[in-house]
Amino acid sequence: MFKVALAQIASVENKEDNLNKICKIIENYSKLSDLILFPEYSMAYSKPFNRKFVEKIAEPLDGPFLSKVKETAKGKEVYVAVNVHEKRNDKIFNSTVLISDKGEIKAIYRKIHLFDAFKYRESKVFSPGEEIVIADVRGAPVGFEICYDIRFPELARILALKGAKVIAVSAGWYRGLLKEEQWFTLLKARAHENGVFVAACCHAGEDFIGRSIAVDPLGYVIIDLGIGEKVAVIDLDLNRVEEVRKIVPAIYQRKLDVYRKYGLT
């Protein structure tokens, strides 16, 4: 079994407070899970959430925030995926950083699809990433997405075709009309259409829906954390991926010759 801890926390403006909360969860759940997944904005969140705030909070990968997380994770036999405001040269990225059980950075996923929808313009705050990321997490191939990415099925399909059996989503899914329905619909679709598990951890703050979930490759919800701060560990049997793909082999039945006629591959 591959054990994922969904750490549904509500981060605040003070990143030291958030760091202490993150490290405490690592200490408490390291022996219970293979991967601890934190939500988007786990480094810090403020109202208003704007470029001025992010510039004040952002750190490079070797800054004190991640250094402390790496120190805490080292030797714990668990991987940690934490979301940070990453300062890199003259740009700031919305990044999920995967830290290994050796306390080393294993992978960095920089959010590709920025949330320029509804009333929000995330592109005024962050620069977009350009790399799709899959990493080996204690023997499990895990692909990474952040929030708005789940609205783009191409990304999940590429992750699945590249071998991901679990898609880990860090999110700050804002409240709004039908937003919870969209969250569930999109995550279940991404899981079922690709025959993969989806583990999605959402911010628990008052601006967000919470409702962190894990979805089976057949598209049904394994667990729903509801609202409020909480942590839950889910057992994922990765053998389910091929079992489900034998039942519903859609990912193997794509008509690439037809798609190419219309500019798709």
Cα(first)–Cα(last) distance of the chain, in Å?
Answer: 34
Residue pair 226/204 in contact by the 8 Å Cβ criterion: no
- CA 43 to chain CA centroid, Å, is 14
pLDDT mean across residues, the chain: 97
How many structural domains are present in the chain? 1
Residue pair 9/203 in contact by the 8 Å Cβ criterion: yes
Residue pair 93/86 in contact by the 8 Å Cβ criterion: yes
The predicted structure's pLDDT at residue 193:
98
- Judged against a pLDDT cut of 80, whether residue 265 lies above it is answered with no
Question: Where in 104-250 does DSSP place strands (E)?
Answer: 105-110, 134-137, 140-146, 166-171, 197-202, 213-215, 221-224, 230-236
Question: Rounded to an integer, what distance in angstroms lies between the CA atom of residue 158 and that of residue 155?
Answer: 5
User: Is residue 59 left, alpha or beta, with left meaning phi > 0 and alpha meaning psi from -120 to 50?
Assistant: beta
The predicted structure's pLDDT at residue 258:
97
* The pairing of beta strand 2-8 with beta strand 35-37: parallel
152-205 confidence digits (pLDDT tens)? 999 999 999 999 999 999 999 999 999 999 999 999 999 999 999 999 999 999
Q: 50: how many CB neighbours lie within 10 A of its CB?
A: 12
Domain residue limits at 20: 2-261
Domain of residue 217, CATH code: 3.60.110.10
Question: Rounded to an integer, what distance in angstroms lies between the CA atom of residue 103 and that of residue 70?
Answer: 4
Question: Rounded to an integer, what distance in angstroms lies between the CA atom of residue 22 and that of residue 42?
Answer: 8
124-158 confidence digits (pLDDT tens)? 999 999 999 999 999 999 999 999 999 999 999 99
